[in-house]
Structure 1
Amino acid sequence: MKKKFLIFILLLTFLLGVIGITEGAMTYTSRSEFCVSCHVMEGQYERWQNSSHIQWAGCSDCHVPHDNYVNMMMTKALDGMGHVYAFTIEGKLEDIKIKERSAKVVNDNCLRCHEDLMQGINTEGRNCWDCHRGLPHGF
């Protein structure tokens, strides 16, 4: 009985540790300052700092899905690993270009935050930046 209880306590401690580390990493990597620290995104970061979006939207608010926590975690992990690979292994030093999957996430997040402004506007087949090209930074 003591052995089973000890194993249970060890597993519970391990699980809580993993959850704590994961949550800490998610919080840390959601900061806009983290995004610019390893990307060649200084220009986009500067334009964002000088936009109205700086008051209420950071990189993760626009570039990470918010439909569910698992999707958010997976996107952050896959995109993050892809960026690390591109910059360290491949040595790419040019700007990151938004991919189709990421463009959908960004567009969905524009609509999520600006839902009240979009009533009566047909968004079918269009992205927000088709009209609002430079917001909050150049695409």
Structure 2
Amino acid sequence: MPSHRPTKKQIAIISMTTFLFITGSYLATMWSYQYSSTTEFCISCHEMVEPYEQYKASVHYSNKHGVVAECADCHFPVGSFNKWYTKITQGAKDSFMHLILDPDEIDHEKWRYAAVKKIKSESCQQCHKNLLPPELSKGGLIAHRAFLKGEVNQTCLYCHENLVHVSR
């Protein structure tokens, strides 16, 4: 029985096709990862209209420093694996909810409290690096020192939960 060995040309075509497929898949994955992390993507669903309006009225959108926190800055955890895991699980949940919920029946307050529980202090501390600024109140200074020393088992949002997604 004769063996059919691939020719050098066939090997080159298969190798190039495999390389292009893997490279294209990687680039498409990275593009979708980046795009789905933008505020533009987050607000493209009807259920995000109210939270987006609340965000635009907050200091995380408009402040004297001109720094704007994007949705992903707060709502995705720090670390590549954690971020990917959250994007997949939360994205699947959000997509499912988008398809079955009537926009007029969304309980934004309930969703807000659920989101607050998921946001970790590490996300806040990506931007808020100096927790002991000179203008901090005495109570804030005491609370932040205890937080930094690990004396309290609370997240930043325990004290700062009404900064962004609240009606103003």
TM-score scaled by length of structure 1: 0.80
Between the aligned partners of 1:115 and 1:121, the Cα distance in structure 2 is 16
2:158 to 130, 133, 136: 130
The yes-or-no answer on 1:14 pairing with 2:21 is yes
Match of 2:53 in 1: 46
1:117 to 117, 122, 131: 131
Per-residue CA distance 1:18-39 (angstroms, 9 max, x = gap):
1111121122211112112115
Query: CA contact under 8 A between 1:86 and 1:92: conserved in structure 2?
Result: no
Match of 1:107 in 2: 121
Which of the pair has more CA radius of gyration?
Answer: 2
For these two proteins, the number of residue pairs brought into alignment is 135
Query: CA contact under 8 A between 2:77 and 2:83: conserved in structure 1?
Result: yes
Per-residue CA distance 1:8-57 (angstroms, 9 max, x = gap):
11111001111111121122211112112115132221121122212331
Between the aligned partners of 1:48 and 1:97, the Cα distance in structure 2 is 12
Between the aligned partners of 2:102 and 2:94, the Cα distance in structure 1 is 9
Between the aligned partners of 2:84 and 2:95, the Cα distance in structure 1 is 16
The alignment's C-alpha RMSD in Å is 2.4
TM-score scaled by length of structure 2: 0.68
Q: Structure 1 residues 104 and 79, CA, compared in 2 at 3 Å: closer, same or farther? A: closer
Letter in 2 for 1:84: S
- What residue ranges of structure 1 are gaps of 5+ in the alignment? none
Partner-residue secondary structure (3-state), 2:130: helix
* Identity between Structure 1 and Structure 2 (%): 28
Match of 1:4 in 2: 11
Match of 1:77 in 2: 88
Between the aligned partners of 2:113 and 2:21, the Cα distance in structure 1 is 37
Mean Cα deviation higher: 129-138 or 102-111 = 102-111
- What residue ranges of structure 2 are gaps of 5+ in the alignment? 1-7, 62-66, 133-143
Between the aligned partners of 2:68 and 2:146, the Cα distance in structure 1 is 23
